[in-house]
Structure 1
Amino acid sequence: MEIDTQVLFKKMEEELNLARETSDETERKIHLGALKVLAEVLLTDKTGKKAAVPEDKIWEKMTGTRPPQIQKEKSEKMNFDDGANGESLFDF
């Protein structure tokens, strides 16, 4: 059974509006939980697996900028006079 995405979007809008309008924290969490489930339905492909959404794309949509690039530090092996130069504490 194919679910129309527009129906899901409409239901998501309803749940979001209900979450905004309530002053009860428990009720707000219930509506936000329903919103999360509906979003997961949209993100699930036809085989039942979650569709992979690159985190860079999500960051860009949320902030309008490219995500910061994290540089990996190169680690060099430490050489000791006694010949112990392993990466583990158990390397002798």
Structure 2
Amino acid sequence: YFVSSALAVSIILFFVRDVVFNKWIKLAMGMSFIMWYFILSTPVSVHSFNPIAIERELVSIWMSALFLIISIILIIIWQIKENKNR
């Protein structure tokens, strides 16, 4: 799931300045470590009747969506700031 989010963001990054891309790379590296921590700390499967049981697949989907949303918002903000500075 993370790869599909990174692919979607990389298409957007094709049209931004190098400064914005470098900021995003730092963000992506930091977020990838945080995402791996959360994904690896959850169980692979939960054998219970609990309707809100959190499994590894669900966490990876949510982390991927969160990465995509945060990346797009920050890329837009950084691009607007770069356009104002020039």
- TM-score, normalised with respect to structure 1: 0.30
Name the structure, 1 or 2, with higher relative contact order (CA <8 Å, separation 6+): 2
Task: Select the structure of larger CA radius of gyration.
Answer: 1
- TM-score, normalised with respect to structure 2: 0.32
